[in-house]
Amino acid sequence: MDEAARTRLVNNIVGHVLQGVEEPVLSRVFEYWTKIDATIGQRVREGVTARRS
């Protein structure tokens, strides 16, 4: 996956998570994506955190 594809993926995940995903599922989302790819997991966490604040 190139960087543009990674950015689209992260934005897509963050957009869906912000539509009402709450704990404990939210923590599992972060854990899942971090296991798949540490950078994507971190970017998802940061994207959700930034937009929820």
| Model confidence pLDDT, tens digit, residues 1-53 | 999 999 999 999 999 999 999 999 999 999 999 999 999 999 999 999 999 87
Question: Would you say residue 12 lies in a domain?
Answer: no
Question: Would you say residue 43 lies in a domain?
Answer: yes
Question: Would you say residue 31 lies in a domain?
Answer: yes
Please count the structural domains in the chain. Answer: 1
Instruction: Give the model's pLDDT for residue 21.
Output: 97
Contact between residue 30 and residue 38 where contact means Cβ atoms under 8 Å apart: no
Whole-structure pTM value:
0.94
Range of the domain at 45: 23-53
- What is the SS3 string spanning the chain? CCHHHHHHHHHHHHHHHCCCCCCCHHHHHHHHHHHHCHHHHHHHHHHHHHHHC
Instruction: Give the model's pLDDT for residue 23.
Output: 96
Question: Would you say residue 11 lies in a domain?
Answer: no
Question: Would you say residue 14 lies in a domain?
Answer: no
Instruction: Give the model's pLDDT for residue 53.
Output: 78
